[in-house]
Structure 1
Amino acid sequence: MEDLNKIVYVVDDDEIFHFIIKKMLGQQENNLVVTSFLCAEEALEQLSAIPQPTLPSLIILDMNMQRMNGWDFIEAYRGLKTSLLSNIPIIMCSSSIDVRDMQKVQHTPELMAYITKPLDKNKLKVIAEYL
C-alpha cells in the first residue's frame, strides 16, 4: 500500500513556532506529516540517512538558529542534494525583514520563497503551493 502522506521538515530552534506551524498546516492539509528539527544538523543527518522514498516534500527553514544557521544549512544541503533522488524545495522563514536577507534569498536557487514570522493565512498559502 502506498503511503500518501506528504512530509514537511520544519527546521527551527523555536519550539513554539513548531507548535504553531503544525497546527496551521494540519488545518489546511489532511495528509501531512510535519517532522520537527530544533537544529539544522539533525535535519541534515536525517536527509543523508533516510531511504529515498521518505524524503520530505518541503523544508521550512529558519534563518537564525544557534550553531548552524539557515545559510549554513543550505551550504551543507548543496553537498548532499546530488545524492538525493529528488530536489526538495526549501522555504526560508524568519522574523528578519532585512532587505539584504531578502536579496540573498533571491540569489539562492535552493530557496523557493522567503516568508516572515509570524505566520498568517496568506503566508500559509505560499507554503501550500510547494506541498
Structure 2
Amino acid sequence: MAESSKQVYVVDDDEIFHFILKKMLEQQGENLEVTSFLCAEDALEHLQRVKMGLPSLIILDMNMQRMNGWDFIEAYRDIKHSLHHQIPIIMCSSSLDMRDMQKVQRTPELMAYITKPLDPSKMEVIKNYLYQS
C-alpha cells in the first residue's frame, strides 16, 4: 500500500466518462485521488498554479470543445519545464482512426492511446502508467 495517495487528472468534456472512470479506478482498491476537469484550459491553469502535488498521471480526451487534446499537449509543452516532474499522459478517445494512433506514437508526451469505452484491459494500461511514477 502506498503511503500517500496518487493523483490522477481526468481532462474530458464528458461528465459520464468522468463518473465511469472514477468508479473503475476506485475498484482498483488503491489510494487514488481523481481530479476532474471538463475543459483543457482549466487543467492547464491548475497545473501552472499547483507546483507541488502534481498528478502521477493525466488522462486526456482527444476531442473536446474549444481546446482539444492536441492543443492541450502544445500548451503543456510550454509549461512542462516549470513543473518539478514530467507527468505521463494517456490520450483517450472514441476515435479508431489510425492517423490519430500514429500521431500519438510520434508525440513524446503521450505514453499510450486508449479507446472508449473503457474495459479491464484498458484500465490495466492506466494502472501500469500510474504506478510507474
- Please give the TM-score of this superposition, normalised by the length of structure 2: 0.94
CA-based RMSD: 0.8
> Would you identify which runs of 4 or more consecutive aligned residues in structure 1 move more than 2 Å?
none
Match of 1:41, SS state, is helix
1:9 aligned onto 2:14 = no
Matched residues, number: 128
Counterpart CA distance in 1 for 2:116 and 2:93 is 6
Counterpart CA distance in 2 for 1:29 and 1:71 is 31
Are the aligned partners of 2:51 and 2:84 in contact in 1 as well (CA < 8 Å)?
Answer: no
Q: Which segments of 5 or more consecutive residues in structure 1 lack a partner in the other structure?
A: none
1:51 aligned onto 2:51 = yes
The alpha carbon displacement at 1:21 in A equals 0.1
Counterpart CA distance in 2 for 1:97 and 1:80 is 29
Match of 2:34, SS state, is strand
The alpha carbon displacement at 1:30 in A equals 2.2
Measured against aligned partners, the alpha-carbon deviations of 1:73-107 in whole angstroms (never above 9, x if no partner) come to: 00000000000010100000000000000000000
Counterpart CA distance in 2 for 1:116 and 1:31 is 25
Match of 1:4, SS state, is coil
Counterpart CA distance in 1 for 2:58 and 2:25 is 13
Query: Which region of structure 1 is more displaced relative to structure 2, 21-30 or 108-117?
Result: 21-30
Counterpart CA distance in 1 for 2:71 and 2:120 is 29
- Please give the TM-score of this superposition, normalised by the length of structure 1: 0.96
Q: Which segments of 5 or more consecutive residues in structure 2 lack a partner in the other structure?
A: none
Measured against aligned partners, the alpha-carbon deviations of 1:45-73 in whole angstroms (never above 9, x if no partner) come to: 00000132x10000000000000000000
Counterpart CA distance in 2 for 1:80 and 1:51 is 11
Measured against aligned partners, the alpha-carbon deviations of 1:12-54 in whole angstroms (never above 9, x if no partner) come to: 00000000000000110421000000000000000000132x1
Match of 2:47, SS state, is helix
Report the counterpart of residue 85 of structure 1 in structure 2: 84
Overall identity of the aligned pairs, in %:
75
